[in-house]
Amino acid sequence: MAKRGSRGLPSRKEILDFIATSPTPVGKREIARAFKVAPADRVALKGLIKEIERSGEAERGPKRRLAVAGKLPEIAVIEVIAIDLDGEATARPVAWPPGEPVPRIVVAENRLGGDEVGQRAVARLARLPEGGYEARIIRLLSGTAERVLGVFRRHGAGGRIEPTDRKLKSEYGVTLAESGDAGDGELVLAEVTAARRFGLPQARIIERLGDTADPRTISLIAIHTHDIPTTFSPEALAQAAAAKPVKLAGRTDLRAIPLVTIDGADARDFDDAVWAAPDDDPANPGGWHILVAIADVAWYVRPGDPLDRAAAERGNSVYFPDRVVPMLPEALSNELCSLKPGMPRACIAVHIWLDATGRKLRHHFERGLMRSAARLTYEEVQAAHDGRPGAKTAPLVAGVIAPLYGAYAALEAARRRRGTLDLDLPERRVVLGADGRVARIEARQRLDSHRLIEEFMIAANVAAAETLERMRQPCMYRVHDAPDPAKLDALRDFLIGLEDKGLRLAKGQAVKPRHFTQLLERAADSPYATLINELVLRSQAQAAYSPENLGHFGLALRRYAHFTSPIRRYADLLVHRALIAGHNAAGTPFGEGGLPATDPAAFAETGAHISRTERRAAAAERSATDRYTAAYLAHRIGATFHGRVNGVTRFGLFVTLDESGADGLLPMRNLPGDFYLHEEAQHRLVGRRTGRVFRLGDALDVRLEAADWVTGGLVLALAMGERAGAVSPHPPIRRGRDSTAERRRAPRPRMRRR
């Protein structure tokens, strides 16, 4: 801390630093309290503050609060306002005079995800030669809990905690008395205690979660890091345990219809079943009658009851390679609401009639009792359709599977006419062995059977949204807005260099999903296919839940709602309840469990909440996959892999490995001997001296330098003999050797420990 001024007052520098780093507005009272200024010195403090104002170093803002004037100090509180296409964060100062142009701040060496918008941090700032500032995070403010999850390491009289969150750069010290008898290598949850002026910040272990040698620890890290609720209240468990199978009374008997479930081999719950047959109406030649039956969760989970409160809190189920954190207790999710073969189950079903071209003619909903004829996997159904039926599917080929594919062909034709956005992005699947460790990481197959189920579910979801609109019932829409114009301009600018390859996105017209699909089709057989798919994905808005209908851009649909997975998504349960309430109000008895009178503001907040829980689940699942992958690769340090650049930042490249789909950082220090400038608009790094270029989508051979399963981080280097990128036809102009800014930012040589 700077030296104190006279008479116990803080110095000018202390006051300015306090104003700059305070996350809340600052006035004389806050300064006096922070520096413990005695009442007798308050008048002198007021005079000192006025001197600072007269000097122009600080000025008054709203409500007479102080802000540092004109330029940013060396240390300030910043707030992340955007994440660009390469994952690089842009921020603004929290304390800034209103009406003044806000300086641009880029966050260096910090891989923040999309959920980090709004994150606040204390950062060290440095001016950039091209204008704006570069921020290096000192500590996070908002978004940092008072607890830390990490691996405990015995050390002297106590130990240290290595955080599992890679954004936390410091370890935490733990005294012997506050170690909770944790053993070396245990995963622990700790409470951060008062920070010391010198040395490590301190923490107290409050929960021991298990030995990190146990592979199941990986999912526990993701669960605790993202605050996924894992326990149900005794009342919710009792309610689920007391649930009974439904009876036919008041329901349509669908048990004679050979509905089947089609899911992945590793699926744990079955909430949708399908059936199709040629339409027997002579007025609809070549048409189809399809039936989609969904588990009737609303019968068991009523608004406001303990199960409903638990499901609303979770928002959705979360799926990990070794476990599921379900939205509902297993007595429902794996039993009474799971459409197991041969078991009578309550359902809400929608009948849809299509013409030969896939155009929907009509539909209607009913509450029924069904019995699944078979539990099938995508692979089994596809093999049967391709002429290789197994013992289970052989009896179903003619009467069940063939009609399903016939109706799918009609729906697919309608989809092509509609012009949807069809991205081809590889997905990876972590396969565990009997010991719980990673046996292999493989690409998920994309079969016509997957697309068949998708099209049936989309048709049912559209029917639900249309019915709720017609009935004037509150609908929790699944919305996907059109892309942001700024992101479209960035994509067009990038494609300028590829126009000679026929890869362009025209200006001067309203962009439709089919325009992106046409671009992807032109790129399909080129070396740029993966790159273009990734850039198109990044240009899209994020899908969400909302009672306001914005349409679904990607599916090219005017209205869309989620109806087909009420076991694992709360949004679908809300749609079921609204359908029940609407049918009852219309005089078509649909039984109990409908949506009560809903406050529009509360319904909108529910939509925002379940959108957040969906993003939380996706982040947790992704982080677990990253950690499993790092654990799988840990024994291959030094091995060479082929990959592609999937992110370009001012601190290095992010590379996706072809073999496993893992993402690793190739830091700037590991690029060959040059200083590389980040050309953001073109998603590339350009060597200042050599003109060598590394750009988004480049294929690289890389060597694995480090794999930390605790954080899920991989560090890469260029493989021996790897060509150092292409040469730019227009190398950047080299500035003078005495450029202070460039010397400050140039990579420093590092000593390696061996």
How confident is the model over 613-665, as pLDDT tens digits?
999 999 999 999 999 999 999 999 999 999 989 888 888 999 999 989 899 99
Cβ–Cβ under 8 Å, residues 2 and 13: yes
Residue 506 confidence (pLDDT): 74
Q: What is the pLDDT of residues 701-722, one digit of tens each?
A: 999 999 988 888 999 999 976 5
Q: How many CA atoms lie within 13 A of 410 on its CB side?
A: 27
Is 398 or 52 the better-scoring residue by pLDDT?
Answer: 398
Q: Per mean pLDDT, which range of 92-96, 212-216, 340-344, 689-693 is the poorest?
A: 92-96
Q: What are phi and psi of 641, to 5 degrees?
A: -130, 150
Residue 745 confidence (pLDDT): 34
Cβ–Cβ under 8 Å, residues 245 and 254: no
Q: Per mean pLDDT, which range of 241-255, 416-430, 617-631 is the poorest?
A: 416-430
Model confidence at 33: pLDDT above 50: yes
SS3 state of residue 267 = coil
Minimal CA–CA distance to 622: which of 422, 435, 430?
430
Give the whole-angstrom CA distance, residue 627 versus residue 622.
9
The whole-number average pLDDT for the span 575-593 is 94
Give the whole-angstrom CA distance, residue 88 versus residue 104.
13
Counting DSSP H helices and E strands in the chain, the numbers are 16, 34
Domains by residue range for the chain, with CATH: 6-68 (1.10.10.10), 75-140 (2.40.50.140), 147-213 (2.40.50.700), 234-480+546-622 (no CATH), 485-540 (no CATH), 637-745 (2.40.50.140)
Q: 748 vs 265, 339, 701, CA distance in Å? A: 51, 61, 24
Record the tokens describing residue 731, joined without a space: 């190398």
Q: What is the pLDDT of residues 289-328, one digit of tens each?
A: 999 999 999 999 999 999 999 999 999 999 999 999 999 9
568 alpha-carbon distance from chain centroid: 17
Residue 503 confidence (pLDDT): 82
Contacts of 433 (CB under 8 A, 6+ apart): 439
SS3 state of residue 493 = helix
Model confidence at 339: pLDDT above 80: yes
Rounded to the nearest integer, the mean pLDDT of the chain is: 85
Contacts of 621 (CB under 8 A, 6+ apart): 222, 318, 319, 320
Minimal CA–CA distance to 552: which of 419, 730, 357?
419
Q: What is the pLDDT of residues 86-144, one digit of tens each?
A: 667 888 887 666 556 678 888 876 544 434 666 778 888 887 776 678 888 887 764 44
The whole-number average pLDDT for the span 422-442 is 88
Q: What is the DSSP letter of 3?
A: P
Residue 27 confidence (pLDDT): 80
| The CA-based dihedral angle spanning residues 105, 106, 111, 115, taken in that order and rounded to the nearest 10 degrees | 40
Residue 362, Cβ neighbours under 10 Å: how many?
9
**Dihedral of alpha carbons 535, 537, 540, 544, sign:** negative
The whole-number average pLDDT for the span 161-181 is 84
Model confidence at 746: pLDDT above 60: no
Give the whole-angstrom CA distance, residue 752 versus residue 749.
10
Record the tokens describing residue 365, joined without a space: 């909903």
Confidence of residue 509 (pLDDT cuts 50, 70, 90): confident
- Burial of residue 91 (CB within 10 Å: 0-12, 13-18, 19+) is buried
Give the whole-angstrom CA distance, residue 455 versus residue 407.
9
Model confidence at 148: pLDDT above 50: yes
40 alpha-carbon distance from chain centroid: 54
Give the whole-angstrom CA distance, residue 747 versus residue 563.
53
CA angle 326, 331, 332 (to 5 degrees): 65
Residue 462 confidence (pLDDT): 98
Residue 25 confidence (pLDDT): 64
Contacts of 519 (CB under 8 A, 6+ apart): 503, 504, 505, 532, 536
Minimal CA–CA distance to 122: which of 60, 57, 74?
74
Give the whole-angstrom CA distance, residue 175 versus residue 180.
10
Residue 117 confidence (pLDDT): 66
Confidence of residue 741 (pLDDT cuts 50, 70, 90): very low
Cβ–Cβ under 8 Å, residues 654 and 87: yes
Beta strands in 296-398 (DSSP E): 318-319, 324-325, 344-354, 360-371, 374-377
Record the tokens describing residue 218, joined without a space: 């990986």
Q: What are phi and psi of 405, to 5 degrees?
A: -70, -30
Give the whole-angstrom CA distance, residue 518 versus residue 548.
30
Cβ–Cβ under 8 Å, residues 206 and 191: yes
Record the tokens describing residue 100, joined without a space: 């003044």
The whole-number average pLDDT for the span 458-471 is 98
Cβ–Cβ under 8 Å, residues 396 and 374: yes
Residue 749 confidence (pLDDT): 34
689-723: b (≥16 Cβ within 10 Å) or e: ebbbbbbbbbebebbbbebbbbbbbbbbbbeeeee
Residue 3 confidence (pLDDT): 42
Model confidence at 500: pLDDT above 70: no
Is 381 or 267 the better-scoring residue by pLDDT?
Answer: 381
DSSP 662-728: -EEEEEGGGS-SSPEEEEGGGTEEEETTT-EEEETT-EEEEEEEEEETTTTEEEEEEPTT----EEP
Minimal CA–CA distance to 489: which of 510, 516, 507, 514?
507
Q: Per mean pLDDT, which range of 251-255, 425-429, 655-659, 747-751 is the poorest?
A: 747-751
Model confidence at 54: pLDDT above 90: no
3-state secondary structure 612-676: HHHHHHHHHHHHHHHHHHHHHHHHHCCCEEEEEEEEEECCEEEEEECCCCCEEEEEHHHCCCCCE
Place of tokens 């980090």: 116
Q: Per mean pLDDT, which range of 89-98, 216-225, 357-366, 607-616 is the poorest?
A: 89-98
pTM over 0.85: no
**Segment (H or E) for 574:** helix 570-585
